[in-house]
Every structure is written in structure tokens, then in C-alpha cells.
Amino acid sequence: MGDIKDKEDIVLLINAFYTKVRSDKVIGYFFNDVVNVNWEAHLPKMYEFWSKVLFSKGDYNGNPMAIHQGIHAQSAMTGDHFDHWVELFQQTVDVLFEGENAEIVKYRAATIASIMKVKVIH
């Protein structure tokens, strides 16, 4: 098992993560029912987002905090939802990768999620 080293690895990670998310009992309904996510548009956006987070090069210029505030307005998100999101993300990383970037991406996911939790729920 190797580390996350390039965009191709990010694609692998993100595809695996959202495959898990879509069938998840706790948070899947946000993606499937609350927002009927257009996966062909969402996944490439997420590859860019995580490339930017991890490698400082990625073509993402959105406003995730505002997007999640909008989702929360449609259907309440809780601290438990965010904690579960982080758990799924970290599990997915651990199944596929190990190394410095794997640790960094897990840490960054948890940090962004904790900021998002405060900004979205309160």
C-alpha cells in the first residue's frame, strides 16, 4: 500500500469515498434525496478541491461553507452527521493509502469538517 502521490490517486480516493457515502445509512440521504446530486459534475469538482487541499494545485473556486449552509436550510445537519462524514473519509483513506499525504489529507478533512460544523450548524 502506497501514499497518495498524484491526481490519479485523488480520483481513486474520492470515487471510493462517494461510493461509500451514497449507500450510507446516516448521511446518504443528503446526497440522494435532499440534494439530488449530479455526480458527473460533483465528482470532478471534488477531485479539484482535494488536489488544491493536498497539492496546492486544483481548479476549485467554490464556497463550500455557503453550499452546506444551503443544504442545512433544506434539511438539518447535526454534529453527528459531520463526525460520521469524517469517519467514512478516514476509513476510505486507510483502506487505500498509507504515508505522509494520507495522514495530511485525513487531518485536513477533520479540520475543515470541524470548521464547517461550527459555521453551518450555528
Which positions touch ligand HEM (CB under 6 A)? 27, 30-31, 35, 37, 42, 45, 49, 62, 64, 67-68, 71, 77, 81-82, 85, 109, 112-113, 116
Pairwise CA distance, residues 70 & 49, whole Å: 19
Residue nearest to ligand HEM (CB): 62
State the minimum distance, in angstroms, from the CB of residue 23 to ligand HEM.
Answer: 14
Contacts of 23 (CB under 8 A, 6+ apart): none
Nearer to ligand HEM, 9 or 27 (CB): 27
What Rg value do the Cα atoms of the chain yield, rounded?
14
Contacts of 35 (CB under 8 A, 6+ apart): 71, 74
State the minimum distance, in angstroms, from the CB of residue 35 to ligand HEM.
Answer: 4
